[in-house]
């Protein structure tokens, strides 16, 4: 199926920037490239942040593995929830989202550092690397004007 059939306003000769208004028109203002990157971050950080704040058994085990106290892990969870709030506000006010995303990158650098210090297998690093990559993509898209 060609793009023209899906979006008659978008022809193959137009660049990707012309697609953005069509997407916003078709699915509402919240569906933009920036917000499509932010949504997985919101879901992921929200779920993990809540689990850490509540200190569910899996998070207690993760804290013990990382040689961190449950209190520190709860603080990390609260920081993740603050990032979620910033990303949600960023749907309408981009500086808040950008600040939250930079905070997520810093948080993930800390997570990767903990994995390195614990000599964890590379597969255990991947969630932190992926989360940091999404946060960087969010900031890059904002900086490029893809709002």
Contact 78, 124 (CB under 8 A): no
The pTM assigned to this predicted structure is 0.76
Residue 141's pLDDT band (cuts 50, 70, 90): confident
Q: Output the pLDDT for position 74.
A: 97
Domain positions in the chain are 1-31, 32-143
Alpha carbons 45 and 38: distance in angstroms, whole number: 10
Instruction: Tell me what pLDDT residue 146 has.
Output: 63
The predicted pLDDT at position 127 comes to: 92
How far apart are alpha carbons 45 and 49 in whole angstroms? 6
pLDDT of 13: 52
Provide the pLDDT for residue 77.
96
CA 98 from centroid of its chain's CA atoms: 11
If pLDDT is split at 50, 70 and 90, which confidence band does 33 have? Answer: confident
* Cβ 73 vs Cβ 53: under 8 Å: no
Q: How sure is the predictor about 46, in pLDDT bands with cuts at 50, 70 and 90?
A: very high
Provide mean pLDDT across the span 112-135: 93
- In the chain, what are the helix, strand and coil shares in percent, each to the nearest 5? 75, 0, 25
Which residues lie below 8 Å from residue 93, measured CB to CB, with a gap of 6+?
none
Read off the DSSP letter of residue 142: H
Half-sphere exposure (Cβ direction) of 71: Cα atoms closer than 13 Å: 0
pLDDT tens-place string over residues 52-101:
999 999 999 999 999 999 999 999 999 999 999 999 998 888 899 999 99
Please give the pLDDT value at position 25: 47
Predicted confidence at residue 104, as pLDDT, reads 97
Spatial separation of the C-alpha atoms in residues 43 and 132, rounded to whole Å: 14
């Amino acid at each position: 199926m060609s793009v023209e059939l899906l979006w008659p306003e978008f022809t193959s000769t137009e660049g990707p920037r012309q697609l953005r208004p069509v997407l916003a028109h078709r699915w509402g203002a919240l569906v933009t490239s920036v917000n499509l990157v932010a949504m997985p971050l919101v879901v992921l950080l929200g779920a993990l942040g809540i689990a850490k704040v509540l200190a569910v058994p899996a998070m207690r085990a993760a804290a013990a593995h990382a040689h961190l106290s449950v209190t520190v892990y709860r603080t990390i969870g609260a920081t993740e929830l603050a990032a979620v709030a910033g990303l949600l506000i960023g749907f309408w006010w981009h500086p808040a989202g950008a600040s939250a995303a930079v905070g997520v990158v810093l948080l993930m650098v800390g997570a990767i550092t903990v994995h390195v210090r614990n000599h964890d297998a590379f597969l255990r690093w991947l969630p932190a690397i992926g989360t940091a990559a999404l946060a960087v993509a969010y900031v890059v898209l904002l900086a490029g004007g893809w709002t």
